[in-house]
Structure 1
Amino acid sequence: MNLRAVRHELGISAELTELARVRHWVRSVLGGFPAHVVSTAVMVVDELTSNALRHGRAPYHVRLLPGAAKLRIEVDDGAGEPARRRLPSDHGGRGLLLVERCAAAWGQLRRPSGKTLWAELTTDPGPSGARG
């Protein structure tokens, strides 16, 4: 089966302990990708999911949509309020800044039943032909 042609989705509960399960799931789904792509994806999914759990509301869904040269990560929550970057402090505010620095692109979509935060990571090794 081609990992890059399948849509993967995981529903999660509102418990912060779900973050460990989500990280494990991402590693399992992306096992055939280069290590740097997997580690970046785990970090981005963790940030988007923790943001949804802390500031959103149920239902929560995490999706991985691998493509030929990119990986799209989507995290849904049931809150309609848009996510926003905050100034970093001792209480947080670094999550979306980290996503912005790691992703080729990111954003959010409002849905009738909440919002989706998404990020896209480049998976193409580039013109050098390097492989992971």
Structure 2
Amino acid sequence: MKTSIFHLLPLLFLIACTGTGEGGTTVPATPGIRVHDLQYEAGTLSGRVRNTGTETLELVLVRFTFKTPCGRKLLEKQFAVVPGGDKKSLAPGMEKHFTLRAMLSWRGKRDPVVTAQVVSVKRSVQKKR
């Protein structure tokens, strides 16, 4: 029986996408803002945002993208991490914890890959005296 390599490609793709392993999170660097400690578990994404700059942040919008380990996009959602539920801004050097409810129709063995990108930032205006 003669088997072509092209007949085996779908099988290789299936094996690559269903193996065991850990999902991951990546966050591109943004000057003055650090999004870190991203964790997705049981439909809830949690993490922290830190103001490493010198100005108070009134608004920080972050776009979260959930992908399969093979790169297929499952969900993309924007979320205002500042102000959070407490309606407070983020002072320099301070950090806030956030949670986002994101139910995915993902049933793979590995966790989805979550990426975060800061979309918009509104800095506080200092009043001159």
Fold similarity call, TM over 0.5: no
Q: As a proportion of its length, which structure holds more strand?
A: 2
Q: As a proportion of its length, which structure holds more helix?
A: 1
Q: Sort the TM-score into its range (normalised by shorter chain).
A: 0.3 to 0.5
Higher relative contact order (CA 8 A, sep 6+): 2
What TM-score does the superposition give when structure 1 sets the normalisation length? Answer: 0.34
